[in-house]
Chain A
Amino acid sequence: MIASHDQERAVIARVLKSPQAWDDLRRRAALRLLEMHYQARAGHIGGNLSSLDMMLVLHHDFLDICDRFILSKGHAAGAYYVTLWTIGRLQDDDLRLFHCDGTRLSGHPPAAGIEDVLFATGSLGHGVSLGAGLAKAKQLKSEPGRICCLTSDGEWNEGSCWEALIFARQHDLTNLTILVDSNGLQGFGATREVANLDPIAEKFRAFGISTQEVDGHDAVALSRALRTRRSGPDVIVARTRKGCGVSFMEDRMEWHYLPMTESQYKQALQEIEQKCVTPSAKPWSKPLPAQSLSS
Protein backbone atom coordinates (compact mmCIF):
# COMPACT_ATOMS: atom_id res chain seq x y z
CA MET A 1 0.00 0.00 0.00
CA ILE A 2 2.68 2.46 1.04
CA ALA A 3 5.00 1.32 -1.71
CA SER A 4 2.38 1.83 -4.40
CA HIS A 5 1.55 5.19 -2.91
CA ASP A 6 5.21 6.16 -3.12
CA GLN A 7 5.48 4.92 -6.65
CA GLU A 8 2.38 6.82 -7.63
CA ARG A 9 3.76 10.01 -6.14
CA ALA A 10 7.03 9.50 -7.94
CA VAL A 11 5.23 9.14 -11.25
CA ILE A 12 3.10 12.18 -10.52
CA ALA A 13 6.15 14.21 -9.54
CA ARG A 14 7.73 13.42 -12.89
CA VAL A 15 4.56 14.35 -14.75
CA LEU A 16 4.38 17.66 -12.92
CA LYS A 17 7.68 18.71 -14.41
CA SER A 18 5.88 19.74 -17.57
CA PRO A 19 3.74 22.87 -17.65
CA GLN A 20 1.11 21.09 -19.71
CA ALA A 21 0.81 18.37 -17.09
CA TRP A 22 0.40 20.96 -14.38
CA ASP A 23 -2.29 22.80 -16.34
CA ASP A 24 -4.13 19.55 -16.98
CA LEU A 25 -3.95 18.63 -13.32
CA ARG A 26 -5.07 22.03 -12.16
CA ARG A 27 -7.97 22.08 -14.61
CA ARG A 28 -9.08 18.56 -13.73
CA ALA A 29 -8.99 19.34 -10.02
CA ALA A 30 -10.77 22.67 -10.31
CA LEU A 31 -13.54 21.18 -12.45
CA ARG A 32 -14.04 18.36 -9.98
CA LEU A 33 -14.06 20.84 -7.11
CA LEU A 34 -16.74 22.93 -8.80
CA GLU A 35 -18.81 19.84 -9.53
CA MET A 36 -18.60 18.67 -5.91
CA HIS A 37 -19.61 22.01 -4.53
CA TYR A 38 -22.40 22.52 -7.04
CA GLN A 39 -23.90 19.08 -6.50
CA ALA A 40 -23.67 19.47 -2.74
CA ARG A 41 -24.95 23.06 -2.89
CA ALA A 42 -22.01 23.82 -0.65
CA GLY A 43 -20.45 27.20 0.00
CA HIS A 44 -16.82 28.10 0.66
CA ILE A 45 -15.91 27.64 -3.01
CA GLY A 46 -13.99 30.93 -3.09
CA GLY A 47 -11.49 29.95 -0.41
CA ASN A 48 -11.20 26.48 -1.91
CA LEU A 49 -10.18 27.86 -5.28
CA SER A 50 -7.68 30.22 -3.67
CA SER A 51 -5.87 27.37 -1.90
CA LEU A 52 -6.22 24.59 -4.47
CA ASP A 53 -2.91 25.33 -6.23
CA MET A 54 -1.01 25.20 -2.96
CA MET A 55 -2.46 21.85 -2.00
CA LEU A 56 -1.79 20.42 -5.45
CA VAL A 57 1.82 21.57 -5.44
CA LEU A 58 2.32 20.26 -1.91
CA HIS A 59 0.89 16.82 -2.63
CA HIS A 60 2.22 16.34 -6.16
CA ASP A 61 5.56 18.02 -5.94
CA PHE A 62 6.74 18.36 -2.37
CA LEU A 63 5.40 16.15 0.41
CA ASP A 64 7.34 12.96 0.96
CA ILE A 65 6.45 9.83 2.88
CA CYS A 66 7.88 11.28 6.13
CA ASP A 67 6.07 14.59 5.76
CA ARG A 68 2.67 15.52 7.12
CA PHE A 69 0.09 18.08 6.03
CA ILE A 70 -2.48 19.86 8.15
CA LEU A 71 -5.26 21.89 6.58
CA SER A 72 -5.82 24.47 9.27
CA LYS A 73 -8.28 26.41 7.11
CA GLY A 74 -10.68 23.50 7.30
CA HIS A 75 -13.30 25.27 5.19
CA ALA A 76 -11.11 24.43 2.19
CA ALA A 77 -11.84 20.74 2.76
CA GLY A 78 -13.23 20.37 -0.76
CA ALA A 79 -9.92 21.38 -2.31
CA TYR A 80 -8.13 19.00 0.05
CA TYR A 81 -10.42 16.10 -0.83
CA VAL A 82 -9.98 16.79 -4.54
CA THR A 83 -6.23 16.93 -4.08
CA LEU A 84 -6.28 13.57 -2.30
CA TRP A 85 -8.40 12.26 -5.16
CA THR A 86 -5.80 13.37 -7.70
CA ILE A 87 -3.15 11.28 -5.93
CA GLY A 88 -5.43 8.28 -5.59
CA ARG A 89 -6.05 8.57 -1.86
CA LEU A 90 -9.77 9.21 -2.31
CA GLN A 91 -12.04 7.74 -4.94
CA ASP A 92 -14.83 9.07 -7.14
CA ASP A 93 -17.39 7.45 -4.88
CA ASP A 94 -15.99 9.38 -1.94
CA LEU A 95 -16.24 12.70 -3.74
CA ARG A 96 -19.76 11.95 -4.97
CA LEU A 97 -20.92 11.72 -1.38
CA PHE A 98 -19.33 15.05 -0.35
CA HIS A 99 -21.74 16.76 2.07
CA CYS A 100 -24.30 13.92 1.69
CA ASP A 101 -25.77 11.87 4.52
CA GLY A 102 -23.40 9.05 5.41
CA THR A 103 -20.36 10.66 3.77
CA ARG A 104 -16.79 10.31 5.00
CA LEU A 105 -16.16 13.78 3.60
CA SER A 106 -17.75 16.25 5.95
CA GLY A 107 -17.76 19.94 5.16
CA HIS A 108 -14.63 20.32 7.25
CA PRO A 109 -11.95 17.62 7.58
CA PRO A 110 -13.15 14.78 9.80
CA ALA A 111 -11.61 13.33 12.94
CA ALA A 112 -11.47 9.81 11.56
CA GLY A 113 -11.97 7.80 8.40
CA ILE A 114 -9.37 9.33 6.08
CA GLU A 115 -5.81 8.20 6.70
CA ASP A 116 -4.23 11.35 5.34
CA VAL A 117 -6.33 13.66 7.50
CA LEU A 118 -4.60 13.72 10.86
CA PHE A 119 -6.85 16.18 12.66
CA ALA A 120 -10.39 17.45 12.43
CA THR A 121 -10.11 21.12 11.60
CA GLY A 122 -12.60 23.83 10.81
CA SER A 123 -12.41 25.89 13.93
CA LEU A 124 -9.64 28.27 12.96
CA GLY A 125 -6.44 28.73 14.91
CA HIS A 126 -5.71 25.10 15.73
CA GLY A 127 -3.56 23.89 12.86
CA VAL A 128 -0.31 25.70 13.56
CA SER A 129 -0.25 24.44 17.15
CA LEU A 130 -1.07 20.91 16.02
CA GLY A 131 1.67 21.18 13.42
CA ALA A 132 4.05 22.47 16.06
CA GLY A 133 3.23 19.42 18.17
CA LEU A 134 3.95 17.06 15.29
CA ALA A 135 7.14 18.95 14.47
CA LYS A 136 8.25 18.91 18.10
CA ALA A 137 7.67 15.15 18.21
CA LYS A 138 9.91 14.67 15.17
CA GLN A 139 12.52 16.90 16.74
CA LEU A 140 12.47 14.88 19.97
CA LYS A 141 12.69 11.60 18.08
CA SER A 142 15.27 12.91 15.62
CA GLU A 143 12.96 11.81 12.83
CA PRO A 144 13.15 13.16 9.30
CA GLY A 145 10.27 14.88 7.62
CA ARG A 146 8.52 18.20 7.42
CA ILE A 147 5.17 19.38 8.73
CA CYS A 148 3.31 21.70 6.38
CA CYS A 149 0.32 23.60 7.65
CA LEU A 150 -1.97 25.66 5.43
CA THR A 151 -3.76 28.54 7.14
CA SER A 152 -6.03 31.26 5.85
CA ASP A 153 -5.09 34.91 6.27
CA GLY A 154 -8.20 35.76 8.29
CA GLU A 155 -7.24 32.90 10.58
CA TRP A 156 -4.40 35.01 11.92
CA ASN A 157 -7.03 37.02 13.78
CA GLU A 158 -6.91 34.08 16.19
CA GLY A 159 -4.54 34.65 19.09
CA SER A 160 -3.74 30.93 19.25
CA CYS A 161 -1.92 31.21 15.90
CA TRP A 162 0.52 33.67 17.44
CA GLU A 163 0.91 31.46 20.51
CA ALA A 164 1.92 28.68 18.15
CA LEU A 165 4.31 30.90 16.25
CA ILE A 166 6.09 31.92 19.45
CA PHE A 167 6.35 28.25 20.43
CA ALA A 168 7.68 27.20 17.02
CA ARG A 169 10.36 29.87 17.11
CA GLN A 170 11.27 29.19 20.73
CA HIS A 171 11.71 25.50 20.01
CA ASP A 172 13.50 26.12 16.73
CA LEU A 173 11.14 23.89 14.77
CA THR A 174 13.09 23.92 11.54
CA ASN A 175 10.83 21.16 10.24
CA LEU A 176 7.67 23.29 10.29
CA THR A 177 6.42 25.23 7.28
CA ILE A 178 3.34 27.40 7.57
CA LEU A 179 1.57 28.52 4.43
CA VAL A 180 -0.81 31.46 4.48
CA ASP A 181 -3.51 31.60 1.84
CA SER A 182 -3.50 35.37 1.64
CA ASN A 183 -6.57 36.07 -0.46
CA GLY A 184 -7.38 39.25 1.44
CA LEU A 185 -10.96 38.30 2.22
CA GLN A 186 -12.61 36.68 5.20
CA GLY A 187 -16.15 35.79 6.18
CA PHE A 188 -17.71 39.21 6.18
CA GLY A 189 -15.22 41.58 4.67
CA ALA A 190 -11.72 42.36 3.51
CA THR A 191 -9.10 41.32 6.01
CA ARG A 192 -7.74 44.88 5.94
CA GLU A 193 -11.12 46.27 6.91
CA VAL A 194 -11.98 43.69 9.58
CA ALA A 195 -8.71 43.30 11.48
CA ASN A 196 -5.83 44.63 9.48
CA LEU A 197 -2.62 42.62 9.83
CA ASP A 198 -0.88 43.98 6.74
CA PRO A 199 1.93 43.77 6.11
CA ILE A 200 1.57 40.32 7.62
CA ALA A 201 4.95 39.10 6.36
CA GLU A 202 6.63 41.83 8.39
CA LYS A 203 4.80 40.66 11.48
CA PHE A 204 6.06 37.12 10.98
CA ARG A 205 9.58 38.43 10.52
CA ALA A 206 9.22 40.47 13.69
CA PHE A 207 8.62 37.16 15.49
CA GLY A 208 11.93 35.92 14.11
CA ILE A 209 10.34 33.71 11.47
CA SER A 210 11.86 33.22 8.03
CA THR A 211 9.20 34.48 5.67
CA GLN A 212 8.79 34.37 1.92
CA GLU A 213 6.12 35.99 -0.19
CA VAL A 214 5.08 34.27 -3.41
CA ASP A 215 2.30 34.16 -5.95
CA GLY A 216 0.09 31.41 -4.55
CA HIS A 217 -1.09 30.39 -8.00
CA ASP A 218 2.39 30.05 -9.44
CA ALA A 219 3.33 26.40 -9.09
CA VAL A 220 6.98 27.01 -9.80
CA ALA A 221 7.26 29.81 -7.27
CA LEU A 222 5.49 27.70 -4.67
CA SER A 223 7.71 24.72 -5.39
CA ARG A 224 10.79 26.90 -5.14
CA ALA A 225 9.66 28.50 -1.88
CA LEU A 226 8.91 25.11 -0.34
CA ARG A 227 12.39 23.88 -1.22
CA THR A 228 14.23 26.89 0.10
CA ARG A 229 16.48 25.99 3.00
CA ARG A 230 15.34 27.36 6.36
CA SER A 231 17.09 28.63 9.42
CA GLY A 232 14.07 27.89 11.63
CA PRO A 233 10.34 27.46 11.25
CA ASP A 234 9.24 29.33 8.16
CA VAL A 235 6.20 30.96 6.67
CA ILE A 236 5.22 31.24 3.05
CA VAL A 237 2.75 34.05 2.49
CA ALA A 238 1.00 33.05 -0.71
CA ARG A 239 -0.75 35.91 -2.46
CA THR A 240 -3.90 34.39 -3.86
CA ARG A 241 -7.27 35.31 -5.30
CA LYS A 242 -10.45 34.09 -3.76
CA GLY A 243 -12.38 32.19 -6.43
CA CYS A 244 -9.26 32.00 -8.60
CA GLY A 245 -10.05 31.16 -12.22
CA VAL A 246 -13.74 32.10 -12.16
CA SER A 247 -14.28 35.74 -13.15
CA PHE A 248 -17.41 36.44 -11.17
CA MET A 249 -15.95 34.89 -8.03
CA GLU A 250 -12.47 36.37 -8.08
CA ASP A 251 -11.80 38.69 -5.14
CA ARG A 252 -15.49 38.69 -4.23
CA MET A 253 -16.24 38.36 -0.55
CA GLU A 254 -19.64 36.71 -1.01
CA TRP A 255 -18.01 33.57 -2.43
CA HIS A 256 -16.76 32.76 1.03
CA TYR A 257 -20.20 31.37 1.75
CA LEU A 258 -22.45 31.28 -1.33
CA PRO A 259 -23.37 28.11 -3.20
CA MET A 260 -23.53 28.30 -7.00
CA THR A 261 -26.70 28.51 -9.06
CA GLU A 262 -26.93 26.33 -12.17
CA SER A 263 -26.04 29.17 -14.51
CA GLN A 264 -23.14 30.25 -12.35
CA TYR A 265 -21.89 26.68 -12.24
CA LYS A 266 -22.01 26.35 -16.02
CA GLN A 267 -20.17 29.62 -16.47
CA ALA A 268 -17.56 28.59 -13.92
CA LEU A 269 -16.99 25.28 -15.70
CA GLN A 270 -16.65 27.06 -19.02
CA GLU A 271 -14.13 29.52 -17.69
CA ILE A 272 -12.00 26.85 -16.06
CA GLU A 273 -12.12 24.76 -19.23
CA GLN A 274 -11.06 27.69 -21.36
CA LYS A 275 -8.37 28.98 -19.04
CA CYS A 276 -6.26 25.91 -19.26
CA VAL A 277 -3.51 27.72 -17.41
CA THR A 278 -3.83 29.51 -14.12
CA PRO A 279 -4.13 33.25 -14.69
CA SER A 280 -0.81 34.09 -13.16
CA ALA A 281 1.11 31.15 -14.59
CA LYS A 282 4.60 32.07 -15.68
CA PRO A 283 6.93 30.30 -18.10
CA TRP A 284 7.86 26.96 -16.65
CA SER A 285 11.25 26.69 -15.08
CA LYS A 286 13.04 24.36 -12.80
CA PRO A 287 13.24 25.33 -9.14
CA LEU A 288 16.23 27.44 -8.30
CA PRO A 289 18.98 25.97 -6.15
CA ALA A 290 18.20 26.03 -2.48
CA GLN A 291 19.16 29.23 -0.76
CA SER A 292 19.40 30.32 2.80
CA LEU A 293 16.89 32.73 4.19
CA SER A 294 17.44 35.21 6.91
CA SER A 295 14.76 36.21 9.35
Chain B
Amino acid sequence: MREDLGRRFINAGVAEQNMVSVAAGLAASGFRPWVYSIAPFVYARPFEQVRNDICLHRLPVVLVGNGGGYGYGVMGATHHALEDYGALLCLPHMRAYVPTFDQDLSVQIDSLMKITHPAYLRLGTSEEPNGAVIPPYSAWRRLQHGPGWLVLVVGPLAGGIWSAARQLYGASRPTLWALSELPCLPIPEEFRADLLRSRRLLVVEEHVEQGGVGQSLALALASAGIAPARFVAKSAQGYLTGRYGSQGFHRRECGLDGASIVDFLTREGSRDAA
Protein backbone atom coordinates (compact mmCIF):
# COMPACT_ATOMS: atom_id res chain seq x y z
CA MET B 1 0.00 0.00 0.00
CA ARG B 2 2.78 2.36 0.89
CA GLU B 3 4.40 1.91 -2.48
CA ASP B 4 1.13 2.27 -4.33
CA LEU B 5 -0.10 5.29 -2.42
CA GLY B 6 3.20 7.16 -2.24
CA ARG B 7 2.73 10.53 -0.52
CA ARG B 8 -0.88 9.63 0.22
CA PHE B 9 0.27 6.97 2.67
CA ILE B 10 0.58 8.83 5.97
CA ASN B 11 1.92 7.28 9.15
CA ALA B 12 0.26 9.55 11.68
CA GLY B 13 2.24 8.23 14.62
CA VAL B 14 0.91 7.40 18.04
CA ALA B 15 -1.61 10.22 17.97
CA GLU B 16 -5.06 8.88 17.18
CA GLN B 17 -7.02 12.01 17.99
CA ASN B 18 -4.97 14.01 15.53
CA MET B 19 -5.09 11.18 13.00
CA VAL B 20 -8.88 11.20 12.89
CA SER B 21 -9.21 14.98 12.69
CA VAL B 22 -6.57 15.19 9.98
CA ALA B 23 -8.58 12.59 8.08
CA ALA B 24 -11.63 14.83 8.45
CA GLY B 25 -9.67 17.73 7.00
CA LEU B 26 -8.48 15.59 4.11
CA ALA B 27 -12.01 14.33 3.45
CA ALA B 28 -13.37 17.88 3.51
CA SER B 29 -10.81 18.64 0.79
CA GLY B 30 -12.00 15.86 -1.48
CA PHE B 31 -9.85 12.92 -0.41
CA ARG B 32 -11.19 9.56 0.74
CA PRO B 33 -9.15 8.80 3.84
CA TRP B 34 -8.89 5.33 5.32
CA VAL B 35 -7.82 5.43 8.96
CA TYR B 36 -6.31 2.24 10.31
CA SER B 37 -5.33 1.00 13.75
CA ILE B 38 -6.04 -1.73 16.25
CA ALA B 39 -9.80 -1.45 16.64
CA PRO B 40 -10.11 0.36 20.01
CA PHE B 41 -7.65 2.99 18.87
CA VAL B 42 -9.81 4.10 15.96
CA TYR B 43 -13.18 4.23 17.74
CA ALA B 44 -12.62 4.56 21.49
CA ARG B 45 -9.58 6.79 21.92
CA PRO B 46 -10.66 9.38 19.31
CA PHE B 47 -14.41 9.00 19.75
CA GLU B 48 -15.11 12.72 19.99
CA GLN B 49 -13.04 13.40 16.88
CA VAL B 50 -15.09 10.73 15.06
CA ARG B 51 -18.32 12.30 16.27
CA ASN B 52 -17.57 16.00 15.84
CA ASP B 53 -15.16 16.11 12.95
CA ILE B 54 -16.31 13.23 10.76
CA CYS B 55 -19.89 12.26 11.52
CA LEU B 56 -21.43 15.68 12.13
CA HIS B 57 -20.19 16.66 8.68
CA ARG B 58 -21.03 13.37 6.99
CA LEU B 59 -17.52 12.97 5.65
CA PRO B 60 -16.60 9.78 3.78
CA VAL B 61 -13.87 8.61 6.13
CA VAL B 62 -13.44 4.86 6.60
CA LEU B 63 -12.25 3.82 10.05
CA VAL B 64 -10.57 0.44 9.80
CA GLY B 65 -10.41 -1.38 13.11
CA ASN B 66 -8.31 -4.51 13.19
CA GLY B 67 -9.29 -7.19 15.71
CA GLY B 68 -13.01 -6.74 16.29
CA GLY B 69 -14.37 -8.35 19.45
CA TYR B 70 -11.76 -10.44 21.25
CA GLY B 71 -9.55 -10.46 18.16
CA TYR B 72 -6.42 -9.42 20.01
CA GLY B 73 -6.91 -12.33 22.39
CA VAL B 74 -4.37 -12.62 25.16
CA MET B 75 -3.10 -9.09 24.52
CA GLY B 76 -5.81 -8.13 26.97
CA ALA B 77 -8.89 -6.02 27.53
CA THR B 78 -7.37 -2.71 26.38
CA HIS B 79 -6.92 -4.20 22.92
CA HIS B 80 -10.37 -5.72 22.62
CA ALA B 81 -13.26 -4.07 20.80
CA LEU B 82 -16.44 -5.32 22.45
CA GLU B 83 -18.58 -2.21 22.07
CA ASP B 84 -17.20 -0.77 18.83
CA TYR B 85 -20.08 -0.88 16.37
CA GLY B 86 -22.66 -0.26 19.08
CA ALA B 87 -20.91 2.95 20.10
CA LEU B 88 -20.24 4.08 16.54
CA LEU B 89 -23.72 3.37 15.22
CA CYS B 90 -25.08 5.91 17.69
CA LEU B 91 -23.39 8.57 15.58
CA PRO B 92 -25.06 10.29 12.63
CA HIS B 93 -24.58 8.77 9.17
CA MET B 94 -22.27 6.01 10.43
CA ARG B 95 -22.48 2.49 9.02
CA ALA B 96 -20.46 -0.53 10.06
CA TYR B 97 -19.07 -3.26 7.82
CA VAL B 98 -18.15 -6.62 9.32
CA PRO B 99 -16.84 -8.99 6.64
CA THR B 100 -17.70 -12.59 7.41
CA PHE B 101 -15.30 -14.30 5.02
CA ASP B 102 -12.08 -13.23 3.32
CA GLN B 103 -13.82 -12.95 -0.03
CA ASP B 104 -16.22 -10.34 1.40
CA LEU B 105 -13.49 -7.84 1.93
CA SER B 106 -12.86 -6.92 -1.69
CA VAL B 107 -16.59 -6.42 -2.27
CA GLN B 108 -16.89 -4.22 0.79
CA ILE B 109 -13.80 -2.22 -0.12
CA ASP B 110 -15.21 -1.54 -3.59
CA SER B 111 -18.40 -0.35 -1.92
CA LEU B 112 -16.55 1.74 0.66
CA MET B 113 -14.68 3.57 -2.09
CA LYS B 114 -18.02 4.98 -3.27
CA ILE B 115 -19.77 5.81 -0.02
CA THR B 116 -20.96 9.29 0.88
CA HIS B 117 -20.98 8.73 4.63
CA PRO B 118 -18.62 7.71 7.44
CA ALA B 119 -17.97 4.01 7.86
CA TYR B 120 -16.35 1.57 10.23
CA LEU B 121 -14.75 -1.57 8.85
CA ARG B 122 -14.38 -4.17 11.59
CA LEU B 123 -11.75 -6.71 10.66
CA GLY B 124 -11.56 -10.21 12.08
CA THR B 125 -10.27 -13.63 11.10
CA SER B 126 -12.20 -15.53 8.47
CA GLU B 127 -13.01 -19.12 9.40
CA GLU B 128 -14.33 -20.83 6.30
CA PRO B 129 -15.68 -24.36 6.83
CA ASN B 130 -13.84 -27.04 4.91
CA GLY B 131 -15.66 -27.88 1.71
CA ALA B 132 -18.38 -25.29 2.20
CA VAL B 133 -19.60 -23.28 -0.76
CA ILE B 134 -19.81 -19.72 0.42
CA PRO B 135 -22.70 -17.81 -1.14
CA PRO B 136 -21.90 -14.56 -2.97
CA TYR B 137 -21.56 -11.51 -0.76
CA SER B 138 -24.65 -9.83 0.58
CA ALA B 139 -25.16 -7.77 3.72
CA TRP B 140 -27.58 -10.50 4.82
CA ARG B 141 -26.75 -14.00 3.61
CA ARG B 142 -28.29 -17.39 4.24
CA LEU B 143 -25.52 -19.96 4.75
CA GLN B 144 -27.57 -23.04 5.56
CA HIS B 145 -31.16 -24.30 5.59
CA GLY B 146 -32.59 -26.34 8.45
CA PRO B 147 -35.89 -27.04 10.19
CA GLY B 148 -34.71 -25.88 13.62
CA TRP B 149 -33.89 -22.49 15.03
CA LEU B 150 -33.17 -19.47 12.90
CA VAL B 151 -29.65 -18.33 13.78
CA LEU B 152 -28.21 -14.95 12.81
CA VAL B 153 -24.47 -14.45 13.37
CA VAL B 154 -22.60 -11.16 12.98
CA GLY B 155 -19.38 -11.25 10.96
CA PRO B 156 -16.57 -13.80 11.07
CA LEU B 157 -17.95 -15.54 14.12
CA ALA B 158 -20.33 -17.16 11.62
CA GLY B 159 -17.56 -19.31 10.09
CA GLY B 160 -16.87 -21.39 13.17
CA ILE B 161 -20.55 -21.67 14.03
CA TRP B 162 -21.33 -22.76 10.48
CA SER B 163 -18.63 -25.46 10.66
CA ALA B 164 -20.22 -26.83 13.81
CA ALA B 165 -23.85 -26.42 12.72
CA ARG B 166 -23.24 -28.31 9.47
CA GLN B 167 -22.87 -31.43 11.62
CA LEU B 168 -26.41 -31.09 12.99
CA TYR B 169 -29.34 -32.92 11.40
CA GLY B 170 -33.01 -33.27 12.10
CA ALA B 171 -34.85 -30.85 14.36
CA SER B 172 -31.62 -29.42 15.70
CA ARG B 173 -30.29 -28.29 12.34
CA PRO B 174 -30.65 -24.53 12.16
CA THR B 175 -31.19 -22.15 9.33
CA LEU B 176 -28.08 -20.04 9.53
CA TRP B 177 -27.62 -16.46 8.37
CA ALA B 178 -24.59 -14.19 8.43
CA LEU B 179 -24.88 -10.42 8.78
CA SER B 180 -22.06 -8.24 7.45
CA GLU B 181 -23.40 -4.68 7.42
CA LEU B 182 -24.93 -2.59 10.19
CA PRO B 183 -27.35 -1.18 11.10
CA CYS B 184 -29.33 -4.28 10.29
CA LEU B 185 -32.28 -2.56 8.66
CA PRO B 186 -34.02 -3.21 6.37
CA ILE B 187 -34.60 -6.85 7.20
CA PRO B 188 -34.79 -8.89 3.99
CA GLU B 189 -38.00 -10.67 3.07
CA GLU B 190 -36.27 -14.07 2.95
CA PHE B 191 -35.13 -13.68 6.54
CA ARG B 192 -38.64 -12.67 7.60
CA ALA B 193 -40.00 -15.75 5.90
CA ASP B 194 -37.47 -17.95 7.67
CA LEU B 195 -38.41 -16.32 10.96
CA LEU B 196 -42.15 -16.83 10.45
CA ARG B 197 -41.48 -20.47 9.74
CA SER B 198 -39.08 -21.10 12.63
CA ARG B 199 -40.54 -18.68 15.22
CA ARG B 200 -37.33 -19.20 17.19
CA LEU B 201 -34.45 -16.76 16.74
CA LEU B 202 -30.91 -16.89 18.09
CA VAL B 203 -28.62 -13.91 17.51
CA VAL B 204 -24.90 -14.41 18.11
CA GLU B 205 -22.37 -11.58 18.13
CA GLU B 206 -18.93 -10.89 19.51
CA HIS B 207 -20.08 -7.57 20.95
CA VAL B 208 -21.68 -6.56 24.23
CA GLU B 209 -25.43 -6.78 24.43
CA GLN B 210 -25.88 -3.01 24.82
CA GLY B 211 -26.06 -1.49 21.37
CA GLY B 212 -25.64 -4.84 19.72
CA VAL B 213 -27.49 -6.43 16.84
CA GLY B 214 -29.59 -8.52 19.24
CA GLN B 215 -31.10 -5.42 20.80
CA SER B 216 -31.68 -3.53 17.59
CA LEU B 217 -33.14 -6.54 15.82
CA ALA B 218 -35.48 -7.28 18.74
CA LEU B 219 -36.76 -3.73 18.55
CA ALA B 220 -37.17 -3.90 14.79
CA LEU B 221 -39.03 -7.20 14.87
CA ALA B 222 -41.30 -6.13 17.72
CA SER B 223 -42.04 -2.85 15.94
CA ALA B 224 -42.88 -4.75 12.74
CA GLY B 225 -45.21 -7.09 14.62
CA ILE B 226 -43.19 -10.18 13.76
CA ALA B 227 -41.54 -10.87 17.10
CA PRO B 228 -40.59 -14.57 17.33
CA ALA B 229 -42.07 -16.84 19.98
CA ARG B 230 -38.58 -17.41 21.36
CA PHE B 231 -35.68 -15.00 21.17
CA VAL B 232 -32.18 -15.58 22.53
CA ALA B 233 -29.24 -13.20 22.11
CA LYS B 234 -25.73 -14.41 22.84
CA SER B 235 -23.16 -11.68 23.21
CA ALA B 236 -19.75 -10.85 24.61
CA GLN B 237 -19.79 -10.94 28.39
CA GLY B 238 -16.50 -9.22 29.10
CA TYR B 239 -14.20 -11.28 31.32
CA LEU B 240 -16.32 -13.68 33.32
CA THR B 241 -13.48 -15.41 35.18
CA GLY B 242 -11.03 -12.54 35.13
CA ARG B 243 -8.66 -14.72 33.09
CA TYR B 244 -7.29 -13.90 29.65
CA GLY B 245 -6.55 -16.04 26.64
CA SER B 246 -6.94 -16.41 22.91
CA GLN B 247 -9.96 -15.19 20.98
CA GLY B 248 -11.21 -18.77 21.09
CA PHE B 249 -10.84 -18.84 24.89
CA HIS B 250 -12.98 -15.75 25.30
CA ARG B 251 -15.55 -16.97 22.80
CA ARG B 252 -15.86 -20.25 24.68
CA GLU B 253 -16.13 -18.45 28.00
CA CYS B 254 -19.05 -16.42 26.62
CA GLY B 255 -20.68 -19.35 24.83
CA LEU B 256 -20.10 -17.82 21.42
CA ASP B 257 -18.02 -20.60 19.85
CA GLY B 258 -19.36 -23.25 17.49
CA ALA B 259 -19.44 -26.01 20.10
CA SER B 260 -21.42 -23.90 22.57
CA ILE B 261 -23.93 -22.92 19.89
CA VAL B 262 -24.33 -26.56 18.82
CA ASP B 263 -24.90 -27.53 22.48
CA PHE B 264 -27.57 -24.89 22.74
CA LEU B 265 -29.29 -25.95 19.52
CA THR B 266 -29.13 -29.64 20.41
CA ARG B 267 -30.56 -29.01 23.84
CA GLU B 268 -33.29 -26.77 22.47
CA GLY B 269 -33.97 -29.21 19.63
CA SER B 270 -34.53 -32.03 22.09
CA ARG B 271 -36.77 -29.84 24.19
CA ASP B 272 -38.81 -28.79 21.16
CA ALA B 273 -39.16 -32.43 20.10
CA ALA B 274 -40.35 -33.40 23.58
Does B associate with A? Answer: yes
Query: Given A111-B57, A120-B56, A129-B49, A138–B22 Cβ distance below 8 Å?
Result: no
Per-residue interface assignment for chain B, residues 10 to 48, with 1 indicating a CB less than 8 Å from any chain A CB and 0 otherwise: 101101011011111111111100000000000000001
Across chains A and B, the number of contacting residue pairs, with CB separation under 8 Å, is: 93
B7 at the interface (CB under 8 A from A): yes
Query: Given A137-B26, A138-B29, A163-B17, A130–B12 Cβ distance below 8 Å?
Result: no
Which of B7, B8, B18 meets A160, CB within 8 Å?
A: B18
The majority secondary structure among interface residues of chain A is helix
Cβ B29 vs Cβ A141 within 8 A = yes
User: How many B residues touch the partner, as a band?
Assistant: 20 to 34
Q: How far is the CA of A140 from the CA of B5 in the complex (A)?
A: 12
Cβ A159 vs Cβ B17 within 8 A = yes
The majority secondary structure among interface residues of chain B is helix
Q: Which residues of B contact A118 (CB under 8 A)?
A: 28
User: How many A residues touch the partner, as a band?
Assistant: 20 to 34
Cβ A166 vs Cβ B15 within 8 A = yes
Cβ A126 vs Cβ B52 within 8 A = yes
Which of B8, B28, B29, B57 meets A112, CB within 8 Å?
A: B57
B21 to chain A: closest residue by CB = A129
Query: Given A112-B57, A120-B57, A167-B22, A125–B28 Cβ distance below 8 Å?
Result: no
B104 at the interface (CB under 8 A from A): no
Q: How far is the CA of A170 from the CA of B19 in the complex (A)?
A: 13
Cβ B22 vs Cβ A133 within 8 A = yes
B53 at the interface (CB under 8 A from A): yes
Q: How far is the CA of A133 from the CA of B53 in the complex (A)?
A: 11
Cβ A140 vs Cβ B7 within 8 A = yes
CB contact list, B211-261 vs A, under 8 A: none
Cβ B57 vs Cβ A133 within 8 A = no
Which of B15, B26, B52 meets A133, CB within 8 Å?
A: B26
A91 at the interface (CB under 8 A from B): no
15 A-B pairs (CB sep. < 8 Å): A123-B48, A129-B17, A129-B20, A130-B21, A132-B25, A136-B22, A137-B28, A137-B29, A137-B31, A140-B7, A160-B17, A163-B17, A166-B13, A166-B15, A167-B22
The 5 closest A-B pairs by CB, nearest first: A133-B25, A129-B21, A137-B29, A163-B18, A163-B15
Residues of chain B touching chain A, judged by Cβ–Cβ distance below 8 Å, are: 7-8, 10, 12-13, 15, 17-18, 20-31, 48-49, 52-53, 56-57
Since A129-B24, A130-B25, A134-B29 are in contact, a sample of 6 more A-B pairs with Cβ atoms closer than 8 Å, ordered by chain A residue number, is A119-B52, A119-B57, A120-B57, A136-B10, A140-B7, A141-B29
